Structure 1
């Protein structure tokens, strides 16, 4: 073996050893196939291809992990809340696997440190944290099967975060809640969205929310969706007593 090849092999072996140790700490068990987990943290900007010319990135694993999360959470709720109907169980599952919650899980585990990408970390959107958490779940399923996948989800999601009583009172989307109330009460509503950029050149959006042709809340954020949600939240608290008594 040449000196250059030996140095490269030793370097890769050491890198694998560090990655193995870090992943094992997160999983709570020994991984078998490290490549599954490397793929879970490979961003599409890396432009990697497999031997068949298919892209190597975390997106397919993200799809698989999303399905595994939904399956395990659904089974848990089905068993824990025997009185819950389909609508209730669906709503509760949505609260547990909401994008906001998945992002929180990914941040708490600091999964972004494993990302292989040609894009600087500061340019990633907030959802990168939840995306790679789902991809990690998908990697566990491929590597170890359903039982280990279930074990991980129970340890990292259900035990520390799933409190049925608290979740029942948690609002996923203030906008959806407000629109549902307006429709039920036959009130008109309108979101007036406009660009509201600051002096630093960063792009912002402003929103004026009107109910029955009267402006009831205003908000400003870096995206239309966030601005509408923030305005809806402010309107919800303004009308909370009326909404909660209906």
Structure 2
């Protein structure tokens, strides 16, 4: 009887749309949300121009900030306990690998969080980072709704258990550009990224990059942004000089 009563109470308190949202969020979290308003806000884009009764914007950006802090806190505590050999620099680098924008975007995509977004901007016009942004805002909503312990449970389930393997992460490169620069500085080598526009035949704007070390061009790359072109050239440089760069 108690189970039937609980189901009946839930169906009375939630309309059909909220009921579907409740069930979807519960499936993702692994526990029942208490206040759906936090989770609705977590998927509200600023383009909706919503305001609360005090005139403050209603969107996920503040929750994203909070979720980022909660995620970093839980990951930092996990690494502190699981990697007793690591100094501050090591722990910081490992945390950066786990909470990299690329990885957060993957997590948001895996959960298909974009299906919940409320926006006046068509979904196809969003950049890749929207996936990671709303993943962080979801964590922020969990913290407001259920507190730190439930936040930690979610991060353990969705991030740490499936993805955090310390030995594997030690060998993961999150920025080839940083790797190349660190190596050049350590070996006292002079490096230079020569960037130029390289527009395609169809008018698409491209950027070309030549990466030189000690006056010699090591790699070239082309991409739709300077950052991507530099990273691609750096990756090619790493593979070209891997034997030297991997030497201790």
TM-score by length of 1: 0.93
SS at match of 2:200: coil
- In the alignment, the residues of structure 2 paired with residue 41 and residue 241 of structure 1 have an alpha-carbon distance, to the nearest angstrom, of 46
Residues 189-239 of structure 1: CA deviation (Å, up to 9, x unaligned) = 111112222233332211111111111111111211111111100001101
Partner of 1:42: 44
Stretch deviating more after TM superposition (191-200 or 90-99): 191-200
Q: Are residue 19 (structure 1) and residue 33 (structure 2) matched? A: no
Residues 162-205 of structure 1: CA deviation (Å, up to 9, x unaligned) = 00100000011100010011111111111111222223333221
- Match among 137, 157, 167 for residue 155 of structure 1: 157
SS at match of 1:129: helix
Instruction: Please list, as runs of the form range in 1=range in 2, the aligned pairs for 1:180-191 lying within 5 A after superposition.
Output: 180-191=182-193
Q: Are residue 245 (structure 1) and residue 247 (structure 2) matched? A: yes
SS at match of 1:55: coil
Aligned pairs, number:
236
Please state how far the C-alpha of 1:93 moved relative to its aligned partner: 0.7
Partner of 1:192: 194
Extract unaligned runs of 5+ from structure 2.
1-11
Partner of 1:229: 231
- In the alignment, the residues of structure 2 paired with residue 51 and residue 226 of structure 1 have an alpha-carbon distance, to the nearest angstrom, of 43
Extract unaligned runs of 5+ from structure 1.
1-9
Residues 33-81 of structure 1: CA deviation (Å, up to 9, x unaligned) = 1110011111111111111111111110000000000000011111111
Partner of 1:143: 145
SS at match of 1:245: coil
SS at match of 1:137: helix
TM-score by length of 2: 0.93
Please state how far the C-alpha of 1:120 moved relative to its aligned partner: 0.9
SS at match of 1:160: helix
Partner of 1:96: 98
CA pair 200-113 structure 1, distance change in 2 beyond 3 A:
farther
SS at match of 1:217: strand
RMSD value, Cα = 1.2
SS at match of 1:206: strand
- In the alignment, the residues of structure 1 paired with residue 204 and residue 62 of structure 2 have an alpha-carbon distance, to the nearest angstrom, of 33
SS at match of 1:49: coil
